């Protein structure tokens, strides 16, 4: 009970400090998504950049009725999320426990015999998300239905043949929806030849049925899709799962994928879930908003094209009559306004406030001592701007002259509030130390922003017209 009350106590200050967005989160009139010309980012057909800001709602189709779906999606739209990650054949006994309308997804647990009534509800959810300008990161199945390599509910129902057929059927059914991103996988690996063959068959089937939408793969914690599928023609961009561990260095996995050839975009598709117990570094400590922010900025500034948020209790849609997964938390609708969820809006605003498609990781910007660890700093830049994340608010000694212009405008961006504070204007040469506000330590993270003064950029994080 103390744990639950502690979580709920976070909500009032989080809600009071933020302003919801208006209008659809994504404008689908820009066209389908594709890979940018430099192969690092996602863009729309007309060239408009797309920022993947995901929320984890694995049990969305399986556990929520339509009124609840509406409430959840509207909350995420207002916070600026662009992608909702959800699973058709869900993790929590998704084959045998029916959805709120009494329907299970498959007849006789046969992937070649989908239950039309169940999929009509999936259709409705996808269409409702489209109304709100939200993509669905659509997982055909959770991994426990593919193999028993890891403990899971199962049962294992797939073969390479029926996986390809199921994928083709799904691709044909959802090809004409504007808001689908396919995600093969489901918190699983492809370590065995059998599971590898099934996942590849599912990916091929999706591509046969749907040539419009992008496809990725969601792996198990600590693993990367590139380990098995980087050269598969159906895989458009990589994902890894850094998992629910305080201070896990997800920038290392992003850097490893970033260095691969052929070049493909990459991202952390499942970092630390807010309010979940950390499974590593500090044992049973709960993951907090700071940990969520740190994972996002570490990954993005290391070269990721997007990031994902999750909250314990939301991903599994915990509610009365629905068993919790893991330790008890408040119900999903009591957790929608956690601080970290609001802070993701500021992540998107910052990234979109400067030219996105020219951004590259560049640790050479940081001259001060910067050893790997909880207080690690990470840097990225475009041609005319730079972002440097001081994880614990340590002073940053920066090598200037890495971006265009003879003078730079410097700002501090507060990742908790989204506010930018002007520091000053300086010659764009030599080395300069910038000291963040506050006392260095956990939860005092800041982003130093350097702009080419000639560009006249608005304050970092200023919401652009969409």
Give the CATH number for residue 228: 3.20.20.80
pLDDT digits (tens, 9 = 90+) for 94-105: 999 999 999 999
* 176 plus 280 within the same structural domain: yes
On whether residue 1 sits in a domain, the answer given is: no
Could you list the residue range(s) of the whole structural domain that residue 54 is in?
Answer: 20-352
* 94 plus 141 within the same structural domain: yes
* 164 plus 38 within the same structural domain: yes
* 304 plus 408 within the same structural domain: no
Cα of 409 vs its chain's centroid, Å: 30
* 198 plus 89 within the same structural domain: yes
> Of 320, 352, 384, at which residue does a domain stop?
352
- Residue 273 or residue 324, greater confidence: 273
Is the pLDDT reported for residue 465 higher than 50? no
Q: The tokens 């290392």 sit on which residue? A: 252
What lies within 8 Å, CB to CB, of 269 at 6+ separation is 54, 85, 183, 216, 218, 239, 240, 241, 308
Backbone angle region of 359, left / alpha / beta, with phi > 0 → left and psi within -120 to 50 → alpha = beta
- Residue 431 or residue 463, greater confidence: 431
On whether residue 14 sits in a domain, the answer given is: no
| Burial zone of 464 (CB within 10 Å; 0-12 exposed, 13-18 middle, 19+ buried) | exposed
* 391 plus 307 within the same structural domain: no
pLDDT value at residue 153: 77
CA nearest 442: which of 397, 372, 393?
A: 393
* 92 plus 238 within the same structural domain: yes
> Of 323, 352, 381, at which residue does a domain stop?
352
On whether residue 11 sits in a domain, the answer given is: no
Q: What is the mean pLDDT of residues 281-292?
A: 81
On whether residue 184 sits in a domain, the answer given is: yes
Is the pLDDT reported for residue 69 higher than 80? yes
Is the pLDDT reported for residue 250 higher than 70? yes
CA dihedral (127, 129, 132, 136) positive or negative: negative
Q: What is the mean pLDDT of residues 237-265?
A: 97
pLDDT value at residue 18: 77
160, 203 contact by CB (below 8 A): no
The span from the CA of 155 to the CA of 145, in Å, is 6
pLDDT value at residue 67: 98
pLDDT value at residue 192: 95
CA nearest 303: which of 365, 253, 366?
A: 253
* 80 plus 59 within the same structural domain: yes
* 366 plus 422 within the same structural domain: yes
pLDDT value at residue 6: 56
pLDDT value at residue 283: 53
* 313 plus 418 within the same structural domain: no
* 119 plus 148 within the same structural domain: yes
On whether residue 7 sits in a domain, the answer given is: no
Of the listed ranges 65-79, 87-101, 286-300, 313-327, the least confidently predicted one is 313-327
pLDDT digits (tens, 9 = 90+) for 136-186: 999 999 999 998 877 767 899 999 999 999 999 999 999 999 999 999 999
Task: Please give the C-alpha separations between residue 187 and each of 97, 147, 218, 222, in angstroms, as whole numbers.
Answer: 20, 12, 6, 10
The span from the CA of 391 to the CA of 440, in Å, is 9
* 151 plus 263 within the same structural domain: yes
pLDDT value at residue 150: 74
Reduced to 3 states (helix: H, G, I; strand: E, B; else coil), residue 268 is strand
pLDDT value at residue 3: 55
On whether residue 10 sits in a domain, the answer given is: no
214, 233 contact by CB (below 8 A): no
431, 405 contact by CB (below 8 A): no
On whether residue 6 sits in a domain, the answer given is: no
| Burial zone of 272 (CB within 10 Å; 0-12 exposed, 13-18 middle, 19+ buried) | buried
Q: What is the mean pLDDT of residues 434-440?
A: 97
On whether residue 9 sits in a domain, the answer given is: no
Give the CATH number for residue 396: 2.60.40
The total of structural domains in the chain comes to: 2
């Amino acid at each position: 009970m103390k744990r639950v009350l502690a979580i709920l106590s976070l909500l009032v200050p989080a809600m009071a400090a933020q302003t919801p967005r208006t209008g659809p989160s994504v404008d689908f009139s820009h066209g389908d998504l594709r890979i940018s010309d430099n192969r690092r980012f996602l863009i729309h057909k007309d060239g408009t950049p797309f920022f993947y800001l995901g929320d984890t709602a694995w049990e969305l189709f399986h556990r929520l009725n339509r009124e609840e779906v509406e409430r959840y999606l509207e909350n995420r739209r207002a916070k600026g999320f662009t992608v909702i990650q959800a699973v058709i054949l869900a993790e929590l006994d998704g084959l045998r426990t029916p959805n709120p309308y009494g329907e299970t997804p498959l007849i006789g647990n046969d992937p070649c015999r989908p239950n039309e009534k169940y999929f009509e509800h999936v259709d409705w959810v996808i269409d409702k998300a489209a109304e709100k300008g939200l993509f669905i990161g659509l997982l055909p199945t959770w991994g426990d239905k593919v193999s028993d390599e890891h403990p899971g509910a199962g049962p294992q129902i797939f073969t390479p043949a029926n996986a390809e057929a199921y994928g083709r059927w799904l691709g044909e059914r959802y090809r004409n929806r504007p808001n689908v991103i396919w995600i093969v996988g489901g918190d699983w690996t492809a370590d065995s030849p059998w599971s590898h063959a099934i996942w590849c068959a599912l990916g091929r089937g999706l591509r046969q049925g749907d040539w419009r939408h992008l496809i990725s793969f969601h792996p198990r914690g600590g693993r990367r899709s590139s380990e098995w599928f980087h050269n598969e023609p159906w895989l458009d961009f990589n994902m890894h799962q850094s998992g629910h561990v305080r201070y896990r260095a997800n920038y290392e996995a992003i850097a490893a994928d970033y260095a691969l050839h052929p070049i493909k975009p990459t991202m952390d598709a499942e970092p630390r879930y807010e309010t979940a117990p950390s499974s590593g570094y500090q044992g049973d400590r709960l993951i907090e908003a700071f940990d969520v922010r740190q994972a996002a900025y570490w990954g993005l500034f290391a070269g990721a094209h997007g990031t994902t948020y999750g909250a314990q209790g939301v991903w599994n849609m915990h509610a009365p009559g629905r068993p919790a997964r893991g330790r008890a938390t408040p119900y999903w609708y009591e957790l929608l306004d956690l601080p970290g969820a609001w802070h993701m809006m500021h992540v998107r605003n910052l990234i979109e406030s400067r030219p996105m498609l020219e951004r590259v990781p560049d640790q050479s910007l940081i001259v001060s001592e910067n050893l790997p660890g909880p207080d690690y700093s990470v840097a990225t830049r475009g041609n005319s701007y730079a972002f440097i994340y001081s994880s614990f608010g340590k002073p940053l000694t920066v090598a200037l002259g890495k971006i265009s212009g003879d003078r730079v405008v410097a700002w501090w961006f507060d990742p908790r509030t989204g506010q930018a504070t002007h520091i000053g204007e300086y010659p764009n040469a030599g080395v300069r130390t910038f000291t963040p506000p506050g006392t260095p330590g956990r939860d005092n993270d800041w982003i130093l922003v350097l702009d080419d003064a000639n560009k006249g950029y608005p304050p970092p994080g200023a919401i652009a017209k969409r």
